[in-house]
Structure 1
Amino acid sequence: EPKKLYDETTQIWKWHNHAEVQPRLKQVLDRMLSPHPQQRYPTAAKVLQALFAPPDFASIVFTFVLIGLAAISAYRLINHLSDLQPAIVTPSTAVDAAPTPKPRETAQQRSKRLGLRDDALRLLLNGSNRTIDQLLYQLEPLTQEARSGIGTYKRVNYDAWLSTAKVSQKAIELLTDAQFVLRFPEQKGKVLNPRTSGQIWYAIARDQITKTQPETLSSLASGTLKNGVGKVYRASLKQGQTIKLNLKSDSTSVWIFSADTTLLKNFSQSDWTGKVTRSSNYEIVIVPNTIGAADYQMSIDVSSVSSK
């Protein structure tokens, strides 16, 4: 019986004379039976860890059997002395495999996605210092409809689009020129070849005609111009009126004109004052001087015509 092995005076278990075990098992059992609770193994998992530490190869079979039997007996002996915590098994967490990097889009794939014709790309790149990647980058902001027609545009197409425009041809050409030069600065001041760079100009004009919606000018107008796209305002002005314009922007220019009169051209300073020479509906066009975001604030004060 277990009680015969326990010395109540010394509080020590005297089992060594009743069984012969390997030194490791003896050491484990002694620690499990220690009279000082703080010296015992805190959990069953720690007991098993101590028992199943790698043994000498020559004694693997013997130790394995003996450990199993001795462990059962030991737990019967100390069952009334301490409650060992059950082993906590932490389930292994599968590590998600790193996502496979998405293959880089080739120039051919990109041009196909943008709806560009192969023959048009060859013409645009012929004699140009631009790489195909640079060209695709410049064309990507255009609409799919405008890009897909590059290589087929003619003047007759442009004239047909103008018939649907909500602003004047002069306003459309100012907006188109500004965006074209910002994207292709080396073309500034040059006569455009209608089969190459002219095709891009037509594509930009097509988008401008479709998207441009004029606004009635109040005393104050402000906003942000992006991707080289300008803005058109309208105002009805009478002969003899005085206009005072204040522009707060570091990267925009302003035009004021009617069908037959130009009051202001390519103005980029802070203040301007002028007199209306002919009564008409005028367009105030503001265009960015940068391809990035261009903030502006524009105020216009129009004096009334003095009566005599």
Structure 2
Amino acid sequence: MNLVYCSQGHPNPAGNRFCQHCGEPMLGVNPRNLPNGVTLGDRYRIVRELGKGGFGQTYLAQDLNRFHELCVLKEFAPQVQGDYALQKSQELFEREAGVLYKLQHPQIPRFRELFRVAYQGEERLFLVQDYVDGQTYQALLNTRKQQGIGFTEAEVVELFEDILPVLHYIHALWVVHRDISPDNLILRTQDRKPVLIDFGGVKEVAVRAELQYSPAALAGQSTIIPTRLGKAGYAPREQMQRGVVSAQSDLYALAATALALLTGKEPQELIDNRTLSWHWSQIGHISPKFQGILEKMLQPIPSDRYQSAQEVLQALDDTQGHPLIATVAHTPEAPVVPIISPVPTPAEPNTGATFAVVPPATSAVSASVTPKRSHWGCLGKTLLWLLVIASAGAIGWWAGSWWIRSQVEKLSSSPTPTLTLTPTTSPTATPTSSSTPVDNSEAQRQQALQQRRQNLGIELSFYEELVNQAFENLKPEQKGKVLGNTPEEASLRADRDKIANDLLNQIEQVNLTSQVRKDLGTYNSADRKQWTSRVNRLRLSSRSLTDLANGKFAALLPQYTAKTLNLDFDDWLKTPVGQLWYAIAADIVPTLEAKTALETVVFDPGATSKQLNGTLKLGEGKAYIAQLAAGQLMQLKLEAPDQVLISVYSPSGQVQILEDSPERNWSGTLPESGFYELVIISNAPETTNYQLDLTVNDTSPVTTPTPSVSPAF
């Protein structure tokens, strides 16, 4: 099944007009999109497009200067016209990118650089960040919804404990994320820690640039309505209606994220928009204390919420006995900043990402663990506030907070909203719409498969495409269909899971190196050309590399060869199973360079024959090169089981001598001078020994020029 992805990374069958997960329109191919395999500035090679972000396309790339390490390139491409507008927009972009540069935290993707490059006569600007290998919490939630389950309270509390210190860190640096949601939290494969992604100050620039520097705006005729960045349901009212963000708005969004994970529903499905009361009866069973924490985080007025991430951590510590995580030593409250002047609120606010607020100075950050705070009495709190008010700048902050509260209270002109509490019910599974939850055994089976995939370091998107291709090969009638969770489809799901299990078994048997497994889904013809160049330097042609890779693939994955699937080889390489061939080839090249899978035949002085011995496991091969002259008589004798095959190639490749042959004896006059290639591959199920006797009538040094070997892929 060919899959396409929306801007949030959700997989969809090709031809979908809307994303089946989030409803986003599926757009056509943008002519500005960079093709896979293109290299920018001799530095970054595009692997594939990840999606469309808030300010341009986002790509997965390899950093050629850092051993092909994966990274993310986010292009800044605002919809403005003219050199002046573009220059001013880029200046804003560079200034906001400086915010990301200041963030140095292990659970925030590291900002690497701003990268300018000319491509096809056009200057392009990219933000380069570390690539995070893992799944978003939205993707994890979607998988669980298909199984009829959601996240448990314990899992959400663990998420809070891991991510609140990150929020504490950014808020101490006066940075507000403003787009926290399951889509912008990744569970990192390496250490199972959540990572906070998509800080949107740079995304905000694209909107501001279009507002300020579009042709109509420059002419004073702009009719564009300013866009409130943030996700409906996750961002609080003050952010969506007035563009006001603060540390408290991030805490609100985190609580809304918790509700989405616990219930499998969007937050707007769980709130009464008229009274702003939450339907706790639909949220299922959570402890009263944790519910109380969420209630306070979700208060409609910012000053009624917890005022910092550290306060939420303290509440968790006080109520549930969880230890505090390392926090920031000194925590000024993040400022509350109106971003764009008030405008009428659109009926359906656009979804965007974050705004970063940077003051003239930042606070020092400490990695030490803060001990549990003592409980202050009324007098202690009064003295503390007097000290704060007496400090420089505190009066301004207090006045700003008072103004914001008064404005928000005006917005909430209806009676003061309260949270309606109803008795919780026993835990129930949350099935996906119009489907029946899978049973526990099936859910456990699928969870085990995903765990094996993660242990192998294989990306989810590639894994799904691979399993889909194998499933459709077995069940052609299912091509293009989306497998549901109905009882009638249980046998089909079982068949698909069995195929997935068999594929994982075969991938484990191939014994690929970890980096090669991680790169599955990213290989293309550019890799083949690079590998060809590397083996050419060893006096081998690409034919030998292809033979070695074909041999291992056919031995370990025989049902998925190009011949078995009745596909042209080049077309087959473009399929998901073709990625496994690429991976095998990627691992073979270093073994040739290390001479563990390659040997140069050197005759002893005065000798006319050479005995070559080796031991091969299933799918393994060995290549030999021998410099010989035209007109020499060569004899070959191979002693090995029938499943061991031999190929012999002339230096130019124009004369076919033997190819994947079971012959055990061969003799003939050599047609060319140069390096002949001999490749032996074992298809025997058991480890086997072989002996190859090579004899020529004259082994004196060859003086004729050696023809150059041209790639034969």
| 1:248-259 aligned within 5 A | 248-250=639-641, 251-257=643-649, 258-259=651-652
2:499 aligned with 1:107: no
Check the 8 A contact 2:628/2:699 in 1, yes or no.
no
2:468 aligned with 1:126: yes
| TM-aligned CA distance change 1:169 to 1:245, over 3 Å | same
The whole-number CA distance in structure 1 between the counterparts of 2:516 and 2:467 is 18
Query: What SS does structure 1 have at the residue aligned with 2:534?
Result: coil
Q: Give percent identity, aligned residues only.
A: 30
Check the 8 A contact 1:238/1:280 in 2, yes or no.
yes
Check the 8 A contact 1:252/1:286 in 2, yes or no.
yes
**Rg bigger for which structure?**
1
2:484 aligned with 1:142: no
Higher relative contact order (CA closer than 8 Å, sequence separation 6+) = 1
1:52 corresponds in structure 2 to none
Partner letter of residue 170 of structure 1? R
| 1:214-233 aligned within 5 A | 214-217=598-601, 219-233=610-624
2:574 aligned with 1:201: no
Q: Give 1:186 deviation, angstroms.
A: 2.0
| TM-aligned CA distance change 1:252 to 1:215, over 3 Å | same
The whole-number CA distance in structure 1 between the counterparts of 2:502 and 2:686 is 17
Stretches of structure 2 that go unaligned for 5 or more consecutive residues are 1-444, 475-497, 603-609, 701-713
| 1:1-308 aligned within 5 A | 106-128=448-470, 129=474, 131-140=499-508, 141-165=511-535, 166=538, 167-188=540-561, 189=563, 190-191=566-567, 192=572, 194-212=574-592, 213=595, 214-217=598-601, 219-250=610-641, 251-257=643-649, 258-260=651-653, 261-304=655-698
The whole-number CA distance in structure 2 between the counterparts of 1:229 and 1:124 is 24
Check the 8 A contact 1:151/1:195 in 2, yes or no.
no
Check the 8 A contact 2:636/2:666 in 1, yes or no.
yes
Q: Which moved more, 1:224-233 or 1:289-298?
A: 289-298
Deviation per CA, 1:109-147: give whole Å up to 9, x if none: 221121101111111111424622211121121111111
Check the 8 A contact 2:630/2:670 in 1, yes or no.
yes
Partner letter of residue 578 of structure 2? G
Query: What SS does structure 2 have at the residue aligned with 1:239?
Result: coil
Q: How many residues align?
A: 203
**TM-score normalized by the length of structure 2:** 0.27
Deviation per CA, 1:141-188: give whole Å up to 9, x if none: 111111111111111122123322333211100111111111221234
Query: What SS does structure 2 have at the residue aligned with 1:231?
Result: strand
The whole-number CA distance in structure 2 between the counterparts of 1:160 and 1:305 is 34
RMSD over aligned CA atoms reads 2.2
The whole-number CA distance in structure 2 between the counterparts of 1:294 and 1:136 is 25
Check the 8 A contact 1:235/1:281 in 2, yes or no.
yes
The whole-number CA distance in structure 1 between the counterparts of 2:660 and 2:522 is 32
The whole-number CA distance in structure 2 between the counterparts of 1:253 and 1:241 is 24
Partner letter of residue 587 of structure 2? D
Deviation per CA, 1:9-30: give whole Å up to 9, x if none: xxxxxxxxxxxxxxxxxxxxxx
Partner letter of residue 211 of structure 1? T
The whole-number CA distance in structure 2 between the counterparts of 1:116 and 1:254 is 33
Partner letter of residue 285 of structure 1? V
Stretches of structure 1 that go unaligned for 5 or more consecutive residues are 1-103
The whole-number CA distance in structure 1 between the counterparts of 2:469 and 2:544 is 31
